[in-house]
Amino acid sequence: MTQVRNPLTGKPDHVLCPPSAAHLASAAAGLREAAAAWRATDRGPALTRLAQAIATDDALLEALVADTGRTGESLLERQIVAGLIHRWVAQAPALLAAPDDAPASLPGIVVGGEAVPYELVGVISPWNLPLLLGMIDAVPALAAGCAVIVKPSEVTPRFIEPLMRLVPEEVPLLLVEGDGTTGAEMVPLVDALVFTGSVPTGRKVAQAAARAFVPAFLELGGKDPAIVLEGADLDRTASAILWGATANAGQSCQSIERIYVERSVHDEFVDLLAAKAGAVGLTCEGGPIGPIIAADQVEVIERHLADAVERGARVHTGGVVEEHGGGLWCRPTVLSGVDHSMLVMTEETFGPLLPVMPVADADEAVAMANDSAYGLSAAVFAADETGARAVAARLQVGAVSVNDASLTALVHEGEKNSFKLSGLGGSRMGKASIQRFVRRRSYLVNRSQGADPWWHNTEKGEN
């Protein structure tokens, strides 16, 4: 029996209830059966009802708050998920419509086609944004006509039950509780899989998916850099970076986790950032910074902090994990005097740490930003957009916020691929993302009349 810890009290208050392997297999079979009717129906009305229910349901919100210990981000998750359902309902039909028949390069041949949804899509998701990351891929898959089974993290399972109560009967969506065992059991049961989580688990999932011959789209970790060049509005930049590094207490893949500042403005920037960071309180004191959701993450944050301090980093704000009422918090922690010998500059921290390193110029900033195993996203701040975009174009990442930070958290329209260890597969964002859940079938029709076309003349050896 696995007990689930409450992030605000540190005490267990939920017992994980995973399905048996047999139950999971029969649930997957049931979803497959439901998929045919779902594919044939107008899916918009049922999905719209789901969006409306999610947007207003208090039980769902309460469970999400219990899962994560924070309220502001939970409200935002609920709002973003409702919004994304409405967006996919509006966009999916046109994006998946059969193309008009068109003449091929071969005379007399016409090419048509259609999108054929996978029958059953699997989603395995992490604990940091449980509702959003459970649904961000499930929704376009449902809109494409697939049935979907979701296995959220064992750290945050409480939202599953109230969410399932909101799913209209005709929508073939099932969320199940469970840990890595359930996740692993799910892989061979589905036709396509989206995994969001850490690189080590992503590797295991990709290997299991390859064995099962299931395409796997991997959305993995990040170590997002921000580059601040001379001429940038330092006050605005400090506010943007502080937001990008501390939203959800830094527990987001696209959090700003390292900051490179041109030497001429470095000291002024660190002072500004430290002044702003020092004024941001914890939710237990009425501020915006929520608790560390997963107890295991505390060890990572403390290890990165201790390593940085031991190697000579200076702590301007925060710097320790604090316990309040059994929950564990970390204040926004501005560090200077850091370099790439430190874990805090090279490994994913997943906490509200803001290490700032001086660089000589844009070239060195780009070299440092690219000196990473990860390639999720980045931010560039400069005097003008042209200069910032020229730097952005040199970064080995899939999305760059220009004169702002972490915009991919809020803006899902831009298509992006993960570079390096941050992931594999088609874009999760933008219009292309729905194409991950369908295969394309072409119809190649010979409409010519009369004499055989030349490629039928096998006996003359002309082909």
Instruction: Report the nearest approach of ligand NAD to the CB of residue 105 (Å).
Output: 40
**Interface pattern 329-358 for ligand NAD (x via CB under 6 A):** -------------------x-x--------
Instruction: Report the nearest approach of ligand NAD to the CB of residue 430 (Å).
Output: 14
Please state the separation of Cα 397 from the chain's center in Å.
14
Task: Say whether residue 392 binds ligand NAD (CB under 6 A).
Answer: no
Task: Say whether residue 189 binds ligand NAD (CB under 6 A).
Answer: no
Nearer to ligand NAD, 204 or 394 (CB): 204
Q: Are 216 and 425 in contact (CB under 8 A)?
A: yes
Task: Say whether residue 204 binds ligand NAD (CB under 6 A).
Answer: yes
Decide if 219 is catalytic: yes
* CA-closest candidate to residue 406, choices 281, 293, 199, 247: 247
Q: Are 435 and 121 in contact (CB under 8 A)?
A: no
Task: Say whether residue 153 binds ligand NAD (CB under 6 A).
Answer: yes
Residue 158 is encoded by which pair of tokens?
Answer: 């409480």
Of 18, 126, 332, 358, the residue at the interface with ligand NAD (CB under 6 A) is: 126
Q: Categorise residue 10: left if φ over 0, alpha if ψ from -120 to 50, beta otherwise.
A: left
Residue 371 is encoded by which pair of tokens?
Answer: 């000196």
Q: Are 147 and 32 in contact (CB under 8 A)?
A: yes
Q: How far is CA 229 from each of CA 39, 309, 363, rounded to the nearest angstrom? A: 51, 26, 11
Of 222, 244, 327, 351, the residue at the interface with ligand NAD (CB under 6 A) is: 222
Of 124, 176, 344, 397, the residue at the interface with ligand NAD (CB under 6 A) is: 124
Of 31, 220, 293, 344, the residue at the interface with ligand NAD (CB under 6 A) is: 220
Nearer to ligand NAD, 57 or 179 (CB): 179
Q: Segment 223-252, which members bind ligand NAD (CB under 6 A)?
A: none
Torsions phi, psi of 242, nearest 5?
-60, -45
Q: Are 429 and 139 in contact (CB under 8 A)?
A: no
Cα dihedral: 127, 283, 161, 150 (round 10)? -20
Nearer to ligand NAD, 252 or 317 (CB): 252
Of 19, 134, 145, 183, the residue at the interface with ligand NAD (CB under 6 A) is: 183
* CA-closest candidate to residue 303, choices 346, 274, 363: 346
Paired strand residues for 442: 113
Q: Among 73, 177, 185, 219, which one carries the catalytic annotation? A: 219
Torsions phi, psi of 357, nearest 5?
-125, 135
Residue 58 is encoded by which pair of tokens?
Answer: 């208090």
Task: Say whether residue 122 binds ligand NAD (CB under 6 A).
Answer: no
Task: Say whether residue 197 binds ligand NAD (CB under 6 A).
Answer: yes
Q: Segment 409-438, which members bind ligand NAD (CB under 6 A)?
A: 423
Instruction: Report the nearest approach of ligand NAD to the CB of residue 143 (Å).
Output: 19
Q: How far is CA 58 from each of CA 66, 155, 319, rounded to the nearest angstrom? A: 12, 21, 35
Of 122, 172, 221, 318, the residue at the interface with ligand NAD (CB under 6 A) is: 221
Nearest-CB residue to ligand NAD?
183
3-state secondary structure of 33: helix
Which residues here bind ligand NAD, judged by CB under 6 A? 124-128, 133, 151, 153-154, 179-180, 183-184, 196-198, 201, 204-205, 219-222, 253, 348, 350, 376, 423
Cite the active site residues. Answer: 219
